[in-house]
Amino acid sequence: MTLMRLSLICPLFVVGACGGPDITLTDDIDLTWDFSITPTKFGDTLHTPYVRGAPVMLSVYAKDDSQTFDGWSVESSDPSIFQITSVIAHGTTFNANGIAAGEGSAGLTVIDDHGSVIGSADADVLQPDHIALDAHGYLIMGMDDQAPVDELRVLDGGTATYVVNYFKGTTELHGNKVLTIDDVPGVTAEARESFLFENREWLTVTANGAEGAVSMPLRADGDVVGSMPMTIVPEIDIATVDMLTQSESGHKDGDWLVAYAQASDASARRIFGVDYSWNVGGVDQTADGDLYRYQYNAGDSQVVTATRDSHSAQGFIHSEGGFVDSTNNIGCSAGGSTGILGGLVVLGLVGCRRRRR
């Protein structure tokens, strides 16, 4: 997690350091895309501006691990912009729940048990004017530059999942739990949240209606901030399937890597929500999905094949075993379910990498 070192406030201008503990303030937004705790403890910034309506958990840490916070509090200079809803300050734990309530900038002040101001930081809040979506599979693969989509092309009967990004102009806003989707005929859309290490907003869509083009209005904190075009694609439009594999260069035995199957139509437009049957090393796998997760083994070369009806794609990997997965699994979600990815997180099997933004 990235932390903001609080601006120390001294009652007098004194040469040398101010008195009081050396503390930092952080939020629960982790922009390192690795599904693990980001190890940096004393960083540079809070992740503002926040998207309006987003709940935010604040935490205060002391450089001295023995520092206790009994009786401490966090106050907002303007609760109509950033409202503190609850504070838990006990022993060495200091957390505060808040909500980005309205557009503007509010000061956050940390106060100790004697009523002294220890430090402060600013929380900026904006309402987005557009939403951008990234295809989950390409983020998993580390192909972040290919993740953005400007149209949802989803196979009829299929389900696809995208990461939701909020913007005002060119400024990215952070936070989640603000997305809602208007009803669209033939489409089931769900806003989802992952919270285990990666606090993200997701959009999962299932195409189950008449084939063709529709428009999907997207709302942030109740306001329509864009409309995403969507095409429900018939099975017959699948023209090719490509096998994408992560680079194995630099990896050691036991590292977990991914192969990803991507369908396209005759115009090379990507089709999402397609599941495949898999064969690895001549052995048929027991599940369908669009991902194959495997443990790298430099001495064990395998051919991996993904098949959808008459279309198939192959790739070469070095693997000592793995399993079929889906880009619709997002680990631990707000619904309380833990997917296969969540299990990998617990076992420490998911490799680290940086997110595009």
pLDDT at position 340, please?
41
Domain limits of the chain?
Answer: 3-9+20-126, 130-233, 236-326
Average pLDDT over every residue of 88-95: 94
Separation of CA 19 from chain center: 39
Decide if 3-9+20-126 and 236-326 have a common fold. yes
pLDDT in tens, 162-218: 999 999 999 999 999 999 999 999 999 999 987 655 578 999 999 987 788 999 999
Percentage of residues of the chain with pLDDT beyond 70: 81
pTM to 2 decimal places: 0.84
pLDDT at position 264, please?
98
pLDDT in tens, 9-62: 333 222 223 556 788 888 988 765 544 444 333 333 689 999 999 999 999 988
Average pLDDT over every residue of 226-255: 96
Average pLDDT over every residue of 96-123: 94
* CA atoms of 117 and 10, how far apart (whole Å): 9
Average pLDDT over every residue of 276-283: 97
CATH class of 3-9+20-126: mainly beta
Check whether 352 has a pLDDT greater than 70.
no
236-326 fold: Immunoglobulin-like (2.60.40)
130-233 fold: Immunoglobulin-like (2.60.40)
